[in-house]
Amino acid sequence: MLDAKRLTILTESAKYDVSCSSSGSSRSSRGGIGNTYAAGICHSFTQDGRCISLLKILLSNQCVYDCLYCVNRRSNDVPRATATPDEICQLVMEFYKRNYIEGLFLSSAVFKNADYTMELLLETVVRLRKLYGFRGYIHLKGIPGADSLLLNRAAHYADRMSFNIELPSEKSLKLLAPQKSKKAILAPMGAMAEEYKIARQEKNKAVLPAGQTTQMIVGASSETDGQIIRLSQALYDRYSLKRVYYSSYVPANNQTSLLPTTPVGLLREHRLYQADWLLRFYGFSAEEIIGSEQNLDPALDPKCAWALRNMGLFPVEVNTAPPEVLLRVPGIGFKSASKICHARRFSKLDFDDLKKMRVVLKRAMHFITCGGKFYGQESLPAVRTLLTLNEMPNTMEQLSMFSSPDINLSVLGGEL
Amino acid sequence: MIVYKTPPTKQGILCALFESFTQKEVPNVVTSSDFQPTFDCVVKDIKIDQKIADRVEKGLIKSGGISLLSTLFYALRSNDGLKETTIFSVAHKCLVARKNLVTNYKDPDMINLYEINSRIANEAHRLKGFLRFEKTAPGVWYARISPDNDIIDLIAPHFKSRFPNERFLIHDLKRNLVCMCDGRSLKTIKTDQALLVCLHQDEHNFQSLWQTYFDHVTIKERFNPKLQDTSLPKRYRKNMVEFAPRQDTLEFN
Ligand code: SF4
């Protein structure tokens, strides 16, 4: 059994991977123990406000690579530990039965070499599924450079796999993660996307039911928000990723002038998540979100910023605008849009009705009319100032929601 | 002012509706709790009659379909003091209009019902994650909960299908309800007795491993307890082992 000391080491070295969601898969416990729930479930929240859904752990933190931004890099003097596949399985089962977790998020440093590491990861998930009959959630990190046969087999046991892009450009990779290349990361992502597509065509839902995700570190290198958002859009389009995670860089005991010494503000990460949300759910393109700017406006949420650049499209009439148009109004999210569409079937809505329905009018009023009446400000600079002022006290509140997983994000969607 | 007193049940509300239609009056308040009457206030105790309840139920189905019934009575699980009045008013309006009005959010009663139901659904969803089982010496799993709303029947089936063949007890400490699963079926009973729980010998070890994990997965540089409080309100923590005092003083760094 894994003891507290190794558990500590293997947790400490896994925690900077931000993805923890257990969503996207729906499977019954038939013939085993455990199931998965499409919306995902949060089991706890740590003092940094992040959700715990999966047991996020490394099989080993003994790395042969030397990526400068990473705590586990070879040249860093930290305690090292390795667990056996069976030790991980036992811990997952015991935690799962106590309802501490939805499942496992297993990753590893490159221990000896990529193939060897991937074999151990694969052995762990096969064991967990076959020997322990575990039917809960498994998110497995793919080791770039490992044999594609190993990766493909893993895809038949995991709910979700991820290959981390790590840095948003090839140049930064060369600089900060000399042993990694864009190709070594993108190739398996492409292969997985292919595997996934074929399985779906054959109606085989057992291959990666929750798809692929990736993560990039923001703020360790010099890319702009524009570059990052365009990259995300390409990843969603080309590799049918379910999700791109952005992790603001936290200095991990690095002594190099190539990396910043202070962590990136959470605000930037927050704005990127908002932009990403617009890409995935609101039908916006990278072009619309970032326009010709280099970076997102820190003072405004990206939907407001977009609306201000496109004042010609507003105001829209809440009683007649189609749902997809309502969704583009700042202050109207999925929940309010749906409430509006339902309610207006009964009778015309006025400004007070929207207030009762908890539409965020402070923002929305500049972009809508109710029964032809307009309550907002006409002048663009005035609207901008008001929106920026509104934003201030909200920001912390929203930051909190954004760092949590899907279920809370969907709540937040109501205000974005 | 007219006040109807009725038990907080489906039957109670249905009979209150009947009373209101036969007497051609609309009560200002429908409640199950003790009401302090003021001098200008008429309090009526609603008589319960299953036949009448069935008739009104049929009428509701005719007006708004089965989904109207489930939306209305889902709200009975709420701890909101105005739930009976809200359910009553929505039902009354649907019966008068002969249609399902629950999404007519212009009407404050409809918004209230929507919000009461969302709070119940959100809490049930949260507790599917926050509930903690402990292994007892005989191998039965035991969980304590103290939810705001009466949601035991909404969460127990989730655990039954997740852990087939396991025997477990979910204990609502606020309402003295225990939901039992023998591995096949669920049964909820009311009990005022304290349950004596004797833990399995392994239990302490796993609880402390979980605490270790919980402590070390935090990113200290991003310390943000306010955010933690919004996502996991303090009232849920008393039943969660990761918020219990640490028993081992041994620390590894
Ligand atoms: S490969 Fe690089 S990022 Fe991964 S554990 Fe090793 S040093 Fe860290």
Same domain, B173 and B100: no
* Whether residue A410 has pLDDT greater than 60: no
Residues A207 and A348 in one domain: no
Considering chain A, what percentage of its residues have pLDDT values greater than 90?
60
Residue A15 with chain B: CB contacts under 8 Å:
216-219
- Report yes or no on whether pTM surpasses 0.80: yes
Give the pLDDT band (50/70/90) at residue A175: confident
Give A49: exposed, middle or buried? Use CB within 10 Å, 0-12, 13-18, 19+.
buried
- Ligand 1 atom with the smallest distance to the CA of A71 is 8
pLDDT of residue B253: 40
- Judge if A313 and A195 occupy the same domain: no
Substitution candidate for ligand 1 out of A72, A163, A181 with most atoms within 8 A of CB: A72
In a domain, A275, yes or no: no
pLDDT of A142 strictly over 60: yes
**Whether residues B118 and B149 fall in one domain:** no
- For A44, the closest of B133, B166, B232 (CB atoms) is B232
| Number of domains present in the structure of chain B | 2
The DSSP annotation for chain B comes to -EEEE--SSHHHHHHHHHHHHHTT---SEEESS-----TT-EEEEPPP-HHHHHHHHHHHHHHHHHHHHHHHHHGGG---TTHHHHHHHHHHHHHHHTS--TT-TTSHHHHHHHHHHHHHHHHHHHHHHH---EEBTTS-EEEEE--SS--HHHHHHHHHHHSTT--EEEEETTTTEEEEE-SS-EEEEE--SPP---B-TTHHHHHHHHHHHHHHHS-GGG--HHHHHHHS-GGGGGG-GGGSPP-------
Instruction: State the pLDDT at residue A270.
Output: 87
Q: Which of A271, A228, A245 is nearest to A399 (CA)?
A: A271
pLDDT tens, residue by residue, B110-169: 999 999 999 999 999 999 999 999 999 999 999 999 999 999 999 999 999 999 989 999
Single out the residue in B88, B122, B156 at which a domain terminates: B122
- Look at residues A214, A240, A273 and tell me which one is the last residue of a structural domain: A214
Classify each residue of A249-281 as buried b or exposed e, where b means 16 or more C-beta atoms within 10 Å of its C-beta.
bbebebeeeebeeebbebebbbbbbbbbbbbbe
Give residue-wise pLDDT tens across range B240-252.
Answer: 999 999 875 554 4
| E strand spans, A242-311 | 243-248
Q: Among A9, A73, A118, which residue has the most ligand 1 atoms within 8 Å of its CB, making it the best to mutate?
A: A73
Residue B105: which of A7, A8, A357 has the nearest Cβ? A357
Q: How far apart are CA A415 and CA A331, in angstroms?
A: 5
Percent of chain A with pLDDT over 70: 92
Residue B155 and residue B113 share a domain:
no
Last residue of a domain, one of B67, B91, B122: B122
Residue B179 and residue B114 share a domain: no
**What residues 78-97 of chain A have any CB closer than 8 A to a CB of chain B?**
91, 94-95, 97
Contact A181, A160 (CB under 8 A): no
Closest chain B C-alpha to A16 CA, distance in angstroms = 8
Q: How many angstroms away from the CA of B217 is the closest CA of chain A?
A: 5
Query: Which residue among B69, B90, B122 closes a domain?
Result: B122
Q: What is the mean pLDDT of chain A?
A: 88
* Residue whose CA lies nearest to ligand 1 atom number 5: A109
Evaluate whether residue B219 is within a structural domain: yes
> What residues make up the domain containing A332?
302-387
Quick check: B171 pLDDT over 90? Answer: yes
Contact state of A98 with B220 under an 8 Å Cβ cutoff: no
Q: Ligand 1 test: best mutation among A13, A65, A165, A172, most atoms within 8 Å of CB?
A: A65
CA A9 / ligand 1 centre spacing (Å)? 15
Q: How far, in Å, from the CA of A404 to the mean position of ligand 1?
A: 25
* Least reliable range by pLDDT among A87-101, A162-176, A347-361, B39-53: A162-176
Nearest CB to A41; choose among B108, B128, B252: B128
Residue range A47-99, pLDDT digits in tens: 988 899 999 999 999 999 998 888 899 999 999 999 999 999 999 999 999 99
Question: With an 8 Å Cβ cutoff, are B230 and A407 in contact?
Answer: no
Q: What ipTM, to 2 d.p.?
A: 0.94
Q: How far is A73 from chain B (nearest CA, A)?
A: 18
pLDDT at res. A163: 92
Domain count, chain A: 2
Does residue A310 share a domain with residue A186? no
Do A89 and A198 have their domain in common? Answer: yes
Q: In terms of residue numbers, what domain contains B138?
A: 130-243
Instruction: Chain A: give the shortest CA distance to residue B26, in Å.
Output: 23
Q: Specify if A319 maps to a domain.
A: yes
Residue B252 lies in a domain: no
- B250, part of any domain: no
| Same domain membership, residue B150 and residue B117 | no
Q: Classify residue A293: in a domain, yes or no.
A: no
Average pLDDT over residues A213-226: 90
Same-domain status, B107 and B134: no
Closest CA in chain A for residue B124: A41
Residue B51 lies in a domain: yes
Show the beta-strand stretches assigned E in A333-390.
368-370, 373-374
A174–B contact, CB cutoff 8 A: no
